[in-house]
Amino acid sequence: MTAQLPLSLRWPRRQRFEHFYPAANAVALSAVQALALQPGAAWLYLSGPSGSGKSHLLLAACQAAHGAERTVQYLPMKSLHDHAVAIRGVMGSEFIALDNLDAIAGDREAEHALFDLYNRARAEGTALIFAAETVPTQLPLTLPDLRSRLGACTQFALKPLEDAERREVLKSQAALRGIELDDTVLDWLFARYVRDLEALLDLLDRLDQASLAAQRRVTVPFLRSFLRETS
């Protein structure tokens, strides 16, 4: 992923709709899929804490829209330095995703740029999807009209997976790789490793390779040794 404008996208292989585990977020998933694939669908605003799947859904929507031959741009505001320049550089796309809106709150120039983009997109029939940790009414924006515009989007508050749901995802993904993760291994892992699902699935990929190379089952001693050697 690069911060050049227009953003040159290389879609992360796991950030697809088929790799999103909806649980309590099934209705939000359906709405995002509709926006990505159906011109005229309602604009969306996703909120939720880190690890709830906001960026996953925005990237999945961009990938799906691109696959449907729509022109796409994705702006991760948190990793862009000049927010106003980045937003004003967005043009000519049929589907635009703006992630980490929290990062522009209080930046008056960026807020005005986003307000203008919103109005231009509405006039041109461009699809917009936004994501932030908080709902529009709680963003510390300096531009009331922008808060009003964002609040007019269909809103979904995403909920992170519960530990039991993460465990089931890991078990099922491990089984697809021919790996058995018993409860003892999962108990040890969840007590000592980050709970973010993306990080856990990345770890599973690495464990798969390491266990195949060593011709060993994934046990607590193997996992302990692997994490010690790769930390």
Confidence of residue 2 (pLDDT cuts 50, 70, 90): very low
53: left (phi > 0), else alpha (psi -120 to 50), else beta?
left
Q: For residue 83, what are the CA distances in angstroms to 47, 77, 102, 152, 153? A: 20, 7, 11, 22, 21
Question: Are 20 and 31 within 8 A, CB to CB?
Answer: no
Residue 79 and residue 229: Cα distance in Å, rounded?
A: 30
Residue 167 and residue 213: Cα distance in Å, rounded?
A: 25
Q: What percent of the chain has pLDDT over 90?
A: 86
| Predicted TM-score of the model (pTM) | 0.87
pLDDT in tens, 155-212: 999 999 999 999 999 999 999 999 999 999 999 999 999 888 888 999 999 999 999 9
Q: Which option is the CATH number for 17-157: 3.40.50.300, 3.30.70.100, 3.30.70.260, 3.40.50.1100?
A: 3.40.50.300
3 state SS for the chain: CCCCCCCCCCCCCCCCHHHCCCHHHHHHHHHHHHHHHCCCCCCEEEECCCCCCHHHHHHHHHHHHHHCCCCEEEEEHHHCCCHHHHHHCCCCCCEEEEECHHHHCCCHHHHHHHHHHHHHHHHHCCEEEEEECCCHHHCCCCCHHHHHHHHCCEEEECCCCCHHHHHHHHHHHHHHCCCCCCHHHHHHHHHHCCCCHHHHHHHHHHHHHHHHHHCCCCCHHHHHHHHHHHC
Residue 154 and residue 45: Cα distance in Å, rounded?
A: 6
Q: Which of 1-5, 23-27, 123-127, 214-218 has the lowest mean pLDDT?
A: 1-5
Residue 192 and residue 223: Cα distance in Å, rounded?
A: 11
Residue 63 and residue 60: Cα distance in Å, rounded?
A: 5
Burial label for 63, CB within 10 Å (0-12, 13-18, 19+), is buried
pLDDT in tens, 28-48: 999 999 999 999 999 999 999
